[in-house]
């Protein structure tokens, strides 16, 4: 019978770990990183566990789909790979792990991530030539029914202002104040009066409130409600909603709906850049649409990585004059499909003679010719502004005369006597060039790789890693968590590419007719 209580000499745990296990590649990569900023996050030199070891533990946990600090603590006590990372150091408790991620790594994790991408660049895995961009919505760690809506706040504030304008002058006259006395000044005067007469505030059944107390309570409720609405508007900014339990989260319509009825849930719009199957940049945005995120996102990635990207490939959600112009001005090629690309290919679109796209255009006179042979003459320009402050120029054309036109009913519906069309010639040119570009052999190859690489990355993160909801609150902590996940994803991807023989291969081959 075996004696399990017999004392044995401990062996090196590394002997029991397979040579191809990802933990070895993780430690190899992490040992070469610069942790100066991470060590600077500690005010004292004394630490229970080396921060570098803590970082390796966290990344390896994320590589294995373990995100809970308690589960990571358990793995450190029972998984020999975690024990090998610890190298005889004591297993950290869950509070130490959570504090390290939420406090020490915040503000440092992004630099560590870009150190990893730079190492991949030096290894020849990245070239910063072809970048694939996409976004997805991931649910925030916030209560689902704690929404604050911008329209509701504005409506309630307007109603409150009307009531204040009606009742405050009445209170002011009651105490010999001017009719135009503000709410704040009136309330301040009443509080001073209450102190002067030693007013005792009463409440409860059978207690009689004085007129002064009732007026003070009324004005106080007005003041507090107004301050609350103003605070909501400050938090909202340009957003339409936010969550009370995570002010940085915005309510968005997610594909994965827990109630299967299309309800809005608090979430972040996660943007990632992928090249050679690696995530090379990421960012979290409060707006649910992808269109307005591209310039800000690319500037951040290129600044942090220190590399300029040549070709940008994205889906039709990024097609806008602002994005096309931004890439054109920076000398970058945009392989972005126009939003109406598929519609333009239909027979119905091509045969619609009333569409401005199908009308003959004369560049010399800068005019269109309608089906009735009348000229739509360039009359004036306007300059609408986007959410990001981008100002574009739209040309407006008005028909010389639509009187008695047999096409009037089918041509346009509106209150104007003559047809008016508005379009951006710059945007029209950019869409034509983008359409031509994505139909070249190189464009087709990049678009197919976009579907494989960037959408594949989100598929792995959500399905294989099981990451569908953030565990932290606030944009800084949430972004730190996703940087950790992207770091772990890249290490896994490097191991996989080495094992399958795809090391150094940037794109998947596509048969182009």
Q: Tell me the CA distances in angstroms from 81 to 71, 87, 89, 97, 301, one per residue in order.
A: 14, 10, 13, 17, 33
Domain residues for 92? 13-105
Q: Are residues 319 and 361 in the same domain?
A: no
Q: Which of these three, 243, 259, 286, is where a domain ends?
A: 243
Percent of the chain having pLDDT more than 90? 73
Q: Are residues 373 and 450 in the same domain?
A: no
On the question of pLDDT at 182 being above 70, the answer is: yes
| Per-residue pLDDT reduced to its tens digit, 64-102 | 999 999 999 999 999 889 999 998 888 999 999 999 999
| Per-residue pLDDT reduced to its tens digit, 424-462 | 999 999 999 999 999 999 999 999 999 999 999 999 999
Q: What values do phi and psi take at 81, rounded to 5?
A: -70, -40
Specify if 511 maps to a domain.
no
Per-residue model confidence (pLDDT) at position 89: 85
Per-residue model confidence (pLDDT) at position 12: 66
Q: Tell me the CA distances in angstroms from 467 to 57, 139, 263, 481, 489, one per residue in order.
A: 18, 10, 20, 11, 12
The overall average pLDDT reported for the chain is 90
Per-residue model confidence (pLDDT) at position 407: 87
User: Does residue 299 contact residue 306 with C-beta atoms inside 8 Å?
Assistant: no
On the question of pLDDT at 251 being above 90, the answer is: yes
Per-residue model confidence (pLDDT) at position 87: 87
Per-residue model confidence (pLDDT) at position 4: 55
Q: Are residues 453 and 315 in the same domain?
A: yes
Q: What is the mean pLDDT of residues 55-61?
A: 96
CA distance 172 to 334: 64
Q: Are residues 203 and 272 in the same domain?
A: no
Closest to 461 measured CA to CA, from 285, 304, 278: 278
On the question of pLDDT at 7 being above 70, the answer is: no
Q: Are residues 415 and 443 in the same domain?
A: no
CA distance 33 to 28: 10
Q: What is the mean pLDDT of residues 171-183?
A: 92
Q: Are residues 307 and 416 in the same domain?
A: no
Specify if 113 maps to a domain.
no
Specify if 84 maps to a domain.
yes
Q: Tell me the CA distances in angstroms from 191 to 40, 203, 220, one per residue in order.
A: 50, 17, 10
Specify if 259 maps to a domain.
no
Provide the CB-side half-sphere exposure for 348 (13 A, CA): 2
Cα 158 to its chain centre, rounded Å, is 31
Per-residue model confidence (pLDDT) at position 206: 80
Q: Are residues 383 and 439 in the same domain?
A: no
Q: Are residues 369 and 324 in the same domain?
A: no
Q: Tell me the CA distances in angstroms from 177 to 172, 188, 190, 193, one per residue in order.
A: 5, 12, 10, 12
Q: Are residues 414 and 468 in the same domain?
A: no
Q: What's the full length of the chain, in residues?
A: 513
**Of 6-20, 179-193, 363-377, 447-461, minimum mean pLDDT range:** 6-20
Q: Are residues 329 and 446 in the same domain?
A: yes
Specify if 507 maps to a domain.
no
Cβ neighbours of residue 25 closer than 8 Å, sequence gap 6 or more: 491, 494, 495, 498
Q: What values do phi and psi take at 450, rounded to 5?
A: -60, -45
Q: Are residues 156 and 234 in the same domain?
A: yes
Q: Are residues 93 and 18 in the same domain?
A: yes
Tally of structural domains, the chain? 4
Q: What is the mean pLDDT of residues 374-393?
A: 89
Percent of the chain having pLDDT more than 70? 95
pTM, full prediction: 0.89
Specify if 114 maps to a domain.
no
In this prediction, residue 10 has a pLDDT band, given cuts at 50, 70 and 90, of low
């Amino acid at each position: 019978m075996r004696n399990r209580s017999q004392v044995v000499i401990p062996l090196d745990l590394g002997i029991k770990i397979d040579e191809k296990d990802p933990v070895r590649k993780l430690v190899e990569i992490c040992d070469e990183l610069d942790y100066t900023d991470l060590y600077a996050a500690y005010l004292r030199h004394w630490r229970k566990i080396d921060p570098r070891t803590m970082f390796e533990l966290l990344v390896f946990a994320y590589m294995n789909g373990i995100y809970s600090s308690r589960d990571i603590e358990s793995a450190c006590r029972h998984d020999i790979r975690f024990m090998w990372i610890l190298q005889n150091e004591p297993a950290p408790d869950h509070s130490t792990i959570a504090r390290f991620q939420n406090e020490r790594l915040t503000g440092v994790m992004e630099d560590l991530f870009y150190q990893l991408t730079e190492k991949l660049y030096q290894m020849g895995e990245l070239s910063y030539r072809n970048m694939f961009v996409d976004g997805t919505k991931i649910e925030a760690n916030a209560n689902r029914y704690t929404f604050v809506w911008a329209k509701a706040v504005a409506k309630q504030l307007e109603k409150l202002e009307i009531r204040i304008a009606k009742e405050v002058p009445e209170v002011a006259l009651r105490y010999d104040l001017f009719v135009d006395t503000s709410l704040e000044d009136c309330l301040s005067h009443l509080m001073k009066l209450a102190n002067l007469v030693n007013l005792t505030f009463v409440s409860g059944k059978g207690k009689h409130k004085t007129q002064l107390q009732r007026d003070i309570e009324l004005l106080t409720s007005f003041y507090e409600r107004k301050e609350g609405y103003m605070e909501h508007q400050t938090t909202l900014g340009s957003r339409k909603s936010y969550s009370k339990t995570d002010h940085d989260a915005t309510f968005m319509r997610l594909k994965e709906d827990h109630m299967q009825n299309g309800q809005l849930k608090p979430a972040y719009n996660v943007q990632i850049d992928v090249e050679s199957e690696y995530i090379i940049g990421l960012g979290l945005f409060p707006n649910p649409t992808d269109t307005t995120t591209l310039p800000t996102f690319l500037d951040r990635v290129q600044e942090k990585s220190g590399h300029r990207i040549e070709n940008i490939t994205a889906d039709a959600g990024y097609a806008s004059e602002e994005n096309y112009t931004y890439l054109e001005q920076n000398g970058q090629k945009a392989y972005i499909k126009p939003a109406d690309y598929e519609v333009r290919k239909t027979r119905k679109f091509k045969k619609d003679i009333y569409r401005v796209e199908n009308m003959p255009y004369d560049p010399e006179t800068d005019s269109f010719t309608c089906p009735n042979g009348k000229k739509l003459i360039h009359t004036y320009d306007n300059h609408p502004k986007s959410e990001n402050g981008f100002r574009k120029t739209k040309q407006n054309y008005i028909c010389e005369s639509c009187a008695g036109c047999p096409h009037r009913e089918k041509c346009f519906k509106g209150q104007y006597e003559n047809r008016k069309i508005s379009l951006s010639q710059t945007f029209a040119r950019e869409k034509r060039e983008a359409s031509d570009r994505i139909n070249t052999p190189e464009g087709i190859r990049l678009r197919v790789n976009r579907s494989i690489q960037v959408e594949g990355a989100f598929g792995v993160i959500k399905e294989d890693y099981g990451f569908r909801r953030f565990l932290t609150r606030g944009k800084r902590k949430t972004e730190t968590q996703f940087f950790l996940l992207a770091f772990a994803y890249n290490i896994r991807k490097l191991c996989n590419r080495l094992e399958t023989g795809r090391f150094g291969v940037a794109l998947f081959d596509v048969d182009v007719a």
